[in-house]
Amino acid sequence: MQSQFNRKKHTLNRNSKRLLQRILAKDNNNIDAISLLGMDAFNRHQYRRAATYWQSLLPRFSADSDDAKMLLTLIAKSQKLADQRPANQES
């Protein structure tokens, strides 16, 4: 799947994104799919969407885990960037 990332923009191509969305439709607990979709959204400057994906992962980790700390950092960064952009610039 990582080979389906646009190397310059670090974004998923359309087919890969659809595949991940189908995976989530069947298994909404798929951490890898959620993580990749979150990173794709972030790299497309869709910060609120990225934060939403990553927030959905938080309950899967203990609060003091490195994973949870990393997610909290990503969420905070996404929310800060989202607040700096006009709402109509995020698609």
pLDDT tens-digit series, residues 40-61: 999 999 999 999 999 999 999 9
Q: Give the confidence band of 11 by pLDDT, cuts at 50, 70, 90.
A: confident
How many other C-beta atoms lie within 10 A of the C-beta of residue 41?
23
Q: Could you tell me if 73 and 83 are in contact, meaning their C-beta atoms sit under 8 angstroms apart? A: no
Phi first, then psi: what are they for 42, rounded to 5°? -60, -45
Using 50, 70 and 90 to split pLDDT, how confident is the model at 2? Answer: very low
Cα distance between residue 39 and residue 79, in whole Å: 14
Phi and psi angles of residue 11, each rounded to the nearest 5 degrees, phi first: -125, 155
Q: Which residue has the higher pLDDT, 7 or 13?
A: 13
CA distance linking residue 74 with residue 90, whole number of Å:
17
